[in-house]
Amino acid sequence: MAIIIDGKLLAQKIKAGISAEVKTAVDSGKRVPALAVILVGDDSASQIYVRNKKKDCEEIGIRSLEFLLGNDTKIEELIALIESLNKDDTVDGILVQLPLPKTLDEKQVIAAISPDKDVDAFVSSNVGQIMLGTQIFLPCTPAGVMEMLAEYNIDVEGKECVVVGRSNIVGKPMAMLLLAKNGTVTICHSRTKSLAEVTKRADILVAAVGKAKLITADMVKDGAVVIDVGMNRDSNNKLCGDVDFDNVKEKASYITPVPGGVGVMTRAMLMKNTITSWKRRIK
């Protein structure tokens, strides 16, 4: 039976540390850190994420600025807003909630964010820094995974690491962070042949494709560490991940639950990136 990696507990620990740091600095006369979140459209999942991020900010002592824009927002309006926030010295982080309406060019919007305020680490120059190992900001979900591994004393060095998924947000940067810790990394995707044969080699298996219960027990090596990044709904409309949790936990040594695993850690890492930016700016 696997040990459950408690992302919720770890996130609370991280946020408590950040909160104490912010309070000490603000009490000594430093300005309050600020995160600007832009939500375009009425995607229900995005609205939930934004509400949760606002709660995190309130809990830590970060000023949360919300910009709620309609589905009919023109790209010129959105970029003008981003540019005004880039110039605002009291704003430390800018986050544009994805996905955007299809009428807007996601790449163009992300490129408009100042790299110094790119707390999602999506801007191309920041992505390049991750490749070089010289980053200021780490992408939130992969960074959250690495924090979880460290908290549970799971050593990556020399381990066979398999990442299922090659997205720019999770899969690719996840592979880079595992590689930076001297893991031997394989990336799988929709064109991978004999997926189960690859995943069964993994000492550390990260599932990040967005397909409910894709990873079944017969695809997992005995004693593997299984990290589930997915957030889906099953046939009963119940939240679940990319991993068949109930069956895989019988084979794994460690496993993350959904919910209560990687998702809450992603938000904690966003807070951490915002504070990193704030500390650099108040100096």
Q: What is the mean pLDDT of residues 101-125?
A: 96
Q: 10 Å Cβ neighbour count for 206?
A: 31
Name the residue among 218, 213, 214 with its Cα closest to residue 200. 218
pLDDT band at 49 (very low <50, low <70, confident <90, very high): confident
Concerning whether 234 is annotated as a catalytic residue, the answer is no
Asked if pLDDT for residue 236 goes beyond 90, the answer is no
- Inter-residue contact 160 to 201 (CB < 8 Å): yes
Q: Which of 6, 15, 92, 97 is catalytic?
A: 97
Q: How far apart are CA 230 and CA 102, in angstroms?
A: 23
pTM: 0.95
The domains located in the chain, with CATH, are 29-114 (3.40.50.10860), 140-263 (3.40.50.720)
End-to-end Cα separation, the chain, in angstroms: 48
Would you state the pLDDT for residue 237? 86
Asked if pLDDT for residue 234 goes beyond 90, the answer is no
Q: What is the mean pLDDT of residues 68-95?
A: 97
The tokens for 141 are 């979900």
Rounded percentage of the chain residues whose pLDDT exceeds 70:
100
Q: Which of 15, 53, 172, 221 is catalytic?
A: 53
Would you state the pLDDT for residue 141? 97
Give tens-digit pLDDT for 161-204.
Answer: 999 999 999 999 999 999 999 999 999 999 999 999 999 999 99
What is the residue-averaged pLDDT of the chain?
96
Would you state the pLDDT for residue 85? 98
Rounded percentage of the chain residues whose pLDDT exceeds 90:
92
Q: Which of 6, 92, 118, 120 is catalytic?
A: 120
Concerning whether 181 is annotated as a catalytic residue, the answer is no
Name the residue among 8, 25, 36 with its Cα closest to residue 274. 36
Would you state the pLDDT for residue 203? 98
Would you state the pLDDT for residue 45? 80
Give tens-digit pLDDT for 119-163.
Answer: 999 999 999 999 999 999 999 999 999 999 999 999 999 999 999
Concerning whether 12 is annotated as a catalytic residue, the answer is no
Would you state the pLDDT for residue 39? 96
Would you state the pLDDT for residue 114? 98
Would you state the pLDDT for residue 233? 87
Report helix, strand or coil for 40: strand
Would you state the pLDDT for residue 245? 96
Would you state the pLDDT for residue 139? 95
Q: 10 Å Cβ neighbour count for 34?
A: 22
The tokens for 209 are 């494709």
Asked if pLDDT for residue 36 goes beyond 90, the answer is yes
pLDDT band at 54 (very low <50, low <70, confident <90, very high): very high
Asked if pLDDT for residue 235 goes beyond 90, the answer is no
The tokens for 279 are 């500390």
Packing angle, helices 171-180 and 140-151, rounded to 10: 40
